Amino acid sequence: MAPETADIDLGEYQWGFHDEENPVIKIERGLNEDVIRQISAHKGEPKWMLDFRLDAYEIFLSKPMPNWGADLSGIDFDNIFYYLKPAESNARSWDDVPDTIKNTFERLGIPEAERKFLAGVGAQYESEVIYHSLKKELEDQGILFLDTGQALLEHEDLFREHFASIIPSADNKFAALNSAVWSGGSFIYVPPGVRIEQPLQAYFRINAENMGQFERTLIIVDEGAYVHYVEGCTAPTYSSDSLHSAVVEILVKKGGRCRYTTIQNWSNNVYNLVTKRAVAEEDATMEWVDGNLGSKVTMKYPAVVLKGERAHGEILSIAFAGEGQSLDAGGKVTHAAPNTTSVITSKSISKDGGRSSYRGLLRVNKGAEGSKSKVVCDALIIDPESRTDTYPYINIMADQVDVGHEATVSRLGEEQIYYLMSRGLSEGEASGMIVAGFVEPITKELPLEYAVEMNRLIQLQMEGSVG
């Protein structure tokens, strides 16, 4: 059968198309114990995982919806598909990926990026990773990069030692939901002293309407090792909502470093509710670079627990909220050991009635003397209809700490635009340039290819908003 790709009116959003569905398995809508048992059975999981899922489901049911942050009242848990397997197997070659799906990833530029500058790629479509690769020389160094479900089956001991150790099911309602129905995601292990110079990338694509995607990522960076992991995501535009609720756990051991970059560009009908937390041991560094451009609602606060002495945490986040979007983003850092350091830099942009919030928690535990932290959050408001809020929570229980917090709110100035236009730039180019400059402290941290992509996405958003 010829693959069919239905194009719909994309508006400004480029990736709103969807493919014809041709699932291997699609479990009926809604969530109950039986759905969870089906998921676990299809995956051929050990019993302890089924028990873990069922236990998490109980926790999910018992926890109320969050009564803070963005409005989640539109989520209808009964209307979501919790598991859809799109292809028979997780291919190691794009040639073995079904044509429809392969074409979509080609449109998204994934195989091309893989050839050009990536050390490995995972591509998830609906509930399962349908393609996975890792350069041979990296495999030979003992690096593991595979889909999380496969890791459970093939490396059960390592998996079980760390799984849910950083984010337990009871952490919050959506972590519990993910724990109950998780499928896909990346599992990475970098052995001691191994540095992966090129990024590993995972791409998450939702295709079906009312889909729920619940990937689970677990990254272990062993002593003195380094990895940069990049994730991107898009979805079709539908009139009804989808749900993306991931859990990402990272352990960076002594002297190791992990950078985790996200370019989130979901369509404007996706609820994006993600729990991300890393633990950094002695002299380790954890960096979250978090770009949020899409989704209907995002609630996401990447966290670092600085557990070992002199550990360093860094959170750089961009949120761009356009029409009908509510992006509640920020970061959390816990200084749990002496002489630890952290920097949180947040930049938010609101336009066309969009709402962005910075929500951050900085905590210095008793005993974490000599810790230093700096929080900078800047908001840019494009037009009077839009809104920004800042909720910086700071909780210090140790003496001799150095904590700084700065926040600014600015409006895109008519005169600033006029100045740039007087040099020949169109209104869209001018405002896009101002916004790109505003987020430059963060985009400059991205690998060139992603910085270009981020600036292009921002330019697209800005051009759609004027003239």
Partner 1 sequence: MPDLVIRNLHANITGTDTEILKGIDLQMSKGEIHAIMGPNGSGKSTLSHVLMGHPGYEVTEGEVLFEGQNLLDLAADERSRAGLFLSFQYPFAVPGVTVANFIRMAVNAHRKGGPDGVDNPVRIPEFRKQILEAMELLHIDKSMASRSLNDGFSGGEKKRFEILQMAMLQPKIAVLDETDSGLDIDALRIVSDGINRLVGPNMGTLIITHYQRILDYVKPDQIHVLMDGRIVRSGGAELAHELETSGYADIAKEVVN
Cβ atoms 87, 214 nearer than 8 A: no
Rounded to whole angstroms, the maximal C-alpha distance in the chain is 68
Segment near partner 1 (CB under 8 A), from 45-53, 64-72, 183-191, 421-429?
A: 421-429
Judged by CB, which is closer to partner 1: 175, or 293?
293
Judged by CB, which is closer to partner 1: 24, or 407?
407
Judged by CB, which is closer to partner 1: 326, or 455?
455
Q: Is 20 helix (H, G, I), strand (E, B) or coil?
A: coil
Residues present in the chain in total: 467
Torsion sign over Cα 442, 372, 275, 390: negative
Is residue 101 left, alpha or beta, with left meaning phi > 0 and alpha meaning psi from -120 to 50? Answer: alpha
Classify strands 312-321 and 341-350 as parallel, antiparallel or unpaired.
parallel
Other CB atoms within 10 Å distance of the CB of residue 268: 20
Q: How far is the CB of 432 from partner 1 (least distance, A)?
A: 10
Choice from 418, 448, 452, 456 touching partner 1 (CB under 8 A) = 418
Residue 277 CB-half CA count within 13 A: 19
Site string for partner 1, 310-339 (x = CB under 8 A): ------------------------------
Examine residue 420 and tell whether it contacts partner 1 (CB under 8 A): yes
Cβ atoms 184, 128 nearer than 8 A: yes
Q: How far is the CB of 379 from partner 1 (least distance, A)?
A: 14
Judged by CB, which is closer to partner 1: 183, or 461?
461
Judged by CB, which is closer to partner 1: 12, or 429?
429
Residue 269 CB-half CA count within 13 A: 21
Q: How far is the CB of 62 from partner 1 (least distance, A)?
A: 46
* Size of residue set near partner 1 by CB under 8 A: 24
Segment near partner 1 (CB under 8 A), from 171-179, 327-335, 382-390, 422-430?
A: 422-430
Written as one letter, the residue type at 214 is: F
Beta bridge mates, 402 = 372
Q: Which of 48, 82, 51, 252 is nearest to 153 (CA)?
A: 48
Chain center to CA of 370: 31
Choice from 51, 142, 419, 448 touching partner 1 (CB under 8 A) = 419
Judged by CB, which is closer to partner 1: 147, or 453?
453
Examine residue 423 and tell whether it contacts partner 1 (CB under 8 A): yes
Q: Is 355 exposed, middle or buried (0-12, 13-18, 19+ CB in 10 A)?
A: buried
Q: How far is the CB of 433 from partner 1 (least distance, A)?
A: 6
Alpha-carbon gap, residue 298 to 200, rounded angstroms: 24
Q: How far is the CB of 349 from partner 1 (least distance, A)?
A: 13
Choice from 11, 142, 193, 413 touching partner 1 (CB under 8 A) = 413
Q: Which of 78, 86, 77 is nearest to 104 (CA)?
A: 86
Judged by CB, which is closer to partner 1: 191, or 441?
441
Judged by CB, which is closer to partner 1: 44, or 424?
424
Q: Which of residues 424-463 bind partner 1 (CB under 8 A)?
A: 424-427, 429-430, 433-434, 436-441
Segment near partner 1 (CB under 8 A), from 93-101, 333-341, 417-425, 458-466?
A: 417-425
Reading the block at residue 240, the tokens are 């009804």
Judged by CB, which is closer to partner 1: 125, or 438?
438
Q: How far is the CB of 408 from partner 1 (least distance, A)?
A: 11
Q: How far is the CB of 437 from partner 1 (least distance, A)?
A: 3
Cβ atoms 258, 278 nearer than 8 A: yes
Q: Is 269 helix (H, G, I), strand (E, B) or coil?
A: coil
- Residues in contact with partner 1 by the rule CB under 8 A: 413-416, 418-427, 429-430, 433-434, 436-441
